[in-house]
Structures are given as C-alpha cells and as structure tokens.
Structure 1
C-alpha cells in the first residue's frame, strides 16, 4: 500500500521503490532471520519496511520526513512493532538502539545527496554493525569498490575498504522508483572486517591524510601531501612520491597515516 498523496520531496532526495520483483530480490539478498536487530534508514513509503516487519515482527527505522512518519506508524500499527525515529540519520547515534552482544544489521535506500556523509557517519560506529545492505547510485558503489589505478578509485574507496569488504550485487534501473531517478542504482553489501585493519589509526586521521591526497589527485603524492608529509618521509616509507594518489594502495595510506600520527599529533 502506497501513500499516494505524498509527493516525493527533492530536498530529502526521495525516490520511492515500488517494483515488487526488486523488493523480493532485496529481501532475499538481506535474508532477515528471526531475532535479527535490523535498522532501516529512510523507509519512505514502506517498500522494504512492510516485508521486513512481517518477517521479523520488530524493526527499528529512521525517517526524517514527518509526513511519512505519520503514514508509516498508522499503516504498520497492526503489522508488528515498528520503532520509528523521526530524525536525521546523519546525526543519529546508532549505539542507542544497539543491544549487548547483538550487532546491528543496517539496510536502506539511501538518498543520493547524503550517501557519502552517511556512510562516513556509520563507519565511525562500525564496531556495533554486523552488515549493511544499501541501494545507492551506481557510480557511488563503483567508487566504493574501486581498486588502485582505477579511475573510480578515491577517498571513498580507501575509507570504505578500510572498514569493510565491499560487494556490489545488482543494478536497479530508474523505472523501479517513483519518481524515477536520472541514473541507475545498485545494491551493495558491506561486511565490516572481523578485526580492524589498523586499530591504532583513528577515523579522523586517515580521513585527513586521504582527503588531502585526493584534493589534488592530478598532482603527484609529494605535491598533494605537501605541508602534511614531506617527500623524504614518503620515500622512507617505501612509497614512490612521484605516483599520483589514485595509484596508492590502502595499505600504503595506512603507512602514511601512521607516520603522520607519530609526529606528536595532539589534535586528534
């Protein structure tokens, strides 16, 4: 059942999923099990909310649009226990819904305009997350999964792969949504690493080094990191300072960040 009177709001980046085959495929991909603690970001008109609630009986969800909150609470009242948080997911503390000894499973059809900052927000709370299944702009998923040397490789690739294994799954065409977006979407599965790749490196530090490197991606690494890490230090770390940032691997960015942190960083 759709909230037909609700018009998609551009400021919230709303595109409502309506294709039943895609919904079924998504449910099969997520494979919710009894007792799972799932939180849905941006339930919209309930395309995933209804089948998840039917399968689980209990669901946490975050929706910023007050009109949709009222609709969802009304329509889901007899379907199960829907705990709906009317707030901005970018500011939400996911620890408030986590349970002792049970990790969150996060799902959602993410608005294109907040997908990257929302991913970064979730990465800072990755220790309480079991997996993430998202529908995103296809280009964003390609960037998340890209390897060094690929034209899509950049800050998002490094940061995502630092925290998770990235598994692009399948494409969703614009016609599956109302209104249809102008680009293809893609389902991606993110599985946090069992053990942190570098537990001594804080999110803020790696983000700062990688952001500066890719802020001038056409320049050499030595030039793009000028003022942060000098050419001699880059060479000493076994990294070619004349390479461009998109050639540098995650492991090499971790080495650069560890060096930078060792230089008496008191502001992180």
Structure 2
C-alpha cells in the first residue's frame, strides 16, 4: 500500500519504537499524527518530520476521536500504529500470605486499560475513519499494526498483568482482521522481544544491564533496535498480502521464567 499523500497515526509515537515508526512513515510520504502524552518530545519530533503532535491518553476516548478526525481532515488516514503501552511487574501473591500483599487489582486494571482496551479503542476509531476512504486500485482503504510483546507467549514471573494485556492484543488480531476485511482494511500485530528503548535508562549501569539481557537472545546476542522493529511494522503496513498475522521480532529469544 502506497502511503504517499496520506496520513498516519502512531500512538506512543514520541519516543522509542513509536518514534522510529513515525520517522519511517514520514519517509514513505505520510503526514504523521504523533499521539502521545509527552508534549515536549512529541512536538520536537513533529517538527522534525513535518507532522503533527496530538496529546492523547489512550484511555480517553474523546482524545482519540479528536486525533483520528484531525488526521482525516488533512488527508486520507491510511495507516495506524498502536505503540502506546506500559509495563508492570508484581507477583500474583506476596510472601507473607496476606491479601494486602497480593497483586494490586488497580495496577492490573490500569495495564489492561492502556495496553489492551486503549489499543482496541484506537483500532476501532481509526478503522472507522479509514472505512470512509476511497479504495486504492487494489481495493485497500488502510492498514493497522498493533504492538504486543513476546510476553504474550513467554510471560515471566511477575508479568501477569502485562502478559494478559499483550495476550489480548494477540488474541484479537484475527477476529478484528476478519471484521475489517469487508472494508478493505488489513490488521497485523508485531510481538517485540528485547528492544533497546529509553525504558532501560532508569536502571543502574544501563549499558551493562542491556548487555547482560542480550545474552538471553538466540542470535544476535544483543537487544534489538527500535529501527529494526519499525522496519517490520512498516513492512506489515505496506505489504498488501500481510493480514491477520502475529509476527515475533525477537532474535529467537524464548523468555525464561525470570
């Protein structure tokens, strides 16, 4: 699918994987709406790629609506990437046998609200706007890529909420793709492994920490780059025959229990 003279929306687009996707989409001729909470980074990136920043909390339906309608007002919205998400680590039960030490239900609900429900809300709204487009010569009106995680398959100790949220993204891939087929819209999911993003900057000795993590990867023994992940996202958006698929981009890693 040709993205020239179209718009694209990327949630979580101000940094990391999302920012790499924004840059790749801009190179392919799309005007990108960067939907994120980080105004400083988002506005700077929008200026860099001649795109637009929209402050969006993916748990806020009205903010999502404003962003997708803004994109459609500029040019046909033909691409959407759902990269916004958060992590959380907490064991299901504590060591002291007290209910107060069990996994926070509030935290579980928040992770699911952002990673799963937010992804679905953006998907349903972006796809609705795409369905109004005139189809291209191949009958296509748009394409969507959602970001899951290898934790959907190999969830580690303490990852119940995160794995549940990402497993939901994987699980809804096929039924949504089937729903959207009649409108000429494709949907795929990418499940990243260990990707080098700013999330690791808060760890003590981050470079040493990332090098040790990379030893768990089958080959190459390192963390993946945001550009490598974005390359797959862009392939799924532009390759007309990719639909209803979940693709692991992980260097062959299978996550151990901890």
Interval containing the TM-score (normalised by the shorter chain) = 0.3 to 0.5
More contact order relative to length (CA 8 Å, sep ≥ 6): 2
Q: Which has the larger radius of gyration?
A: 1
For normalisation by structure 1, the TM-score amounts to 0.41
